[in-house]
Amino acid sequence: MLPSYYTFLISTWVIIYFLIAILFLVLIFTLKITLPTKSITTDVIDLDVNTLKSGDIVAVSYQKMIGKFVHAITGCEWVHAAIIYVDPVTQIPYILEGTGRGWGRSFSFYRIPFSSWLQINRNQQICIMKLNGVLDSNKLYNNFKNYIKYSSLEPFNFGWLRFLWTKQYQKKLNYHRGFTCVEACLRTLIDIGVFKKQYSETSYLLESILRGHPPCESGYGYDRPVRLKF
Model pLDDT for residues 10-50, shown as the tens digit of each residue: 777 778 777 776 666 666 555 554 555 556 877 899 999 99
**What residues contact residue 25 under an 8 Å CB cut-off, 6+ apart?**
none
Which residues face 110 on adjacent strands? 97
* Contact indicator for 192, 10 with CB cutoff of 8 Å: no
Average pLDDT of the segment spanning 135-164: 91
3-class DSSP state of 91: coil
Of the listed ranges 100-104, 125-129, 160-164, 192-196, the least confidently predicted one is: 100-104
Model pLDDT for residues 195-206, shown as the tens digit of each residue: 999 999 999 989
Helices 5-34 and 65-74: angle between axes, nearest 10 degrees = 70
The average confidence (pLDDT) of the chain is 86
Per-residue pLDDT band at 1 (split at 50, 70, 90)? very low
**What residues contact residue 87 under an 8 Å CB cut-off, 6+ apart?**
93, 94, 137
More confident residue, 94 or 2: 94
